[in-house]
Amino acid sequence: MWRLPRAATLIRMNDNNSIQQLSDALASAVEEASASVVRVEARHRGASSGIVWSADGVIVTADHKVERDEEIRVGLPDGSEVPATLAGRDPRTDVAVLRTEASGLKPAPWSDISGLKVGHLVLALSRPGRTARATLGIVSALGDEWRTGAGGKVDRYLETDVAHPPGFTGGLLIDASGRALGMNDAGFRRGRGVAIPASTLTRVVESLLAHGGVKRGYLGVGAHPVRLPAATAEATGHAVGLIVVGVQPGSPAEQAGIVLGDVLLALDGQAIGDLGGLQSALDEGRAGKAVTLRILRGGEARDVAVTLGSK
């Protein structure tokens, strides 16, 4: 719900025309953008929302709201309902893609969030029933790249104070001009409204449509963080690394000669001092590619060529 006292600092309180103009602009933005928001029935209890990705019936929604792969229904903006099939899902970023036979749909007008600032007005749109719903708030936090609890990479951290009633997850976040900023997702942070930005959605959705999943690099090791002795850290330029405690048989690591006790330092020059760093290095479009793994063995740093698998 719009908290007028806070938002009103942007306009003159004694100017009714300014208030009405702002109200009209927000209503127009909601009306325009809601044509890209659909209802998704893929759970045994309660519907969620989805976003039109392409005019030929591709829909994007939150993966954790798609509990079943069959008997999925999508409620369109015109009030009709069509069956949908699951084209792919990525639990790590909580993105799922559905295909329908619908045509002539209006894709969301995606926008870059580079110009977005903390304090900007935003609206969360949903369609938990036949009609669209909206709530208003502000951008409460912006940050750099981050990883979800499942290890998925999200390009920017975008948090709002917008209320998320049941059915809003999977819906569209827009700015006051109606530009689509991302997909609302209440599943990442309890009590916080986090949105997956358009750049992350584009990367993940394209992979799901092409492969049914997101291809990530696969090394095949079990490892734990370890702090290196001061002399070794000075010699290698790495204060921490990952000590290998397991190598999967037949894995790229085994084929490259990685053994228990090796300490992983970097992959193609990218430091991997913790498991998040390793996952980040493997995620960067490196599936199936040859890379150089910097390791520490017997106190000596060396480079090992590895052809990563795909997982």
Tens-place pLDDT, residues 209-220: 998 888 888 999
Highest mean pLDDT range out of 49-53, 67-71, 160-164, 228-232?
49-53
Encode pLDDT of 138-151 as tens digits. Answer: 999 999 988 888 77
**Angle at the Cα of 129 from the Cα atoms of 123 and 132, rounded to 5 degrees:** 30
Mean pLDDT of 103-122: 94
- Average pLDDT value over all residues in the chain: 90
Q: What percent of the chain has pLDDT over 70?
A: 94
From 272, 158, 187, 281, select the one nearest 226 (Cα to Cα): 272
Any idea which of 137-141, 269-273, 283-287 has the lowest mean pLDDT? Answer: 283-287
Q: CA of 8: how far to CAs of 15, 29, 136, in Å?
A: 10, 19, 13
The dihedral sign for the CA sequence 27, 116, 201, 55: positive
Would you place residue 190 in the very low, low, confident or very high pLDDT band (cuts 50, 70, 90)? low
pLDDT at 5: 43
Burial class (CB in 10 A: 0-12, 13-18, 19+), 178: buried
Domains parsed from the chain with CATH numbers: 1-214 (2.40.10.120), 217-310 (2.30.42.10)
Whether the per-residue pLDDT at 8 is higher than 70: the answer is: no
d(CA 239, CA 81): 57
pLDDT at 3: 47
pLDDT at 191: 62
d(CA 293, CA 272): 10
pLDDT at 166: 87
Mean pLDDT of 195-205: 96
Whether the per-residue pLDDT at 258 is higher than 70: the answer is: yes
Quote the pTM value: 0.81
Any idea which of 25-34, 78-87, 282-291 has the lowest mean pLDDT? Answer: 282-291
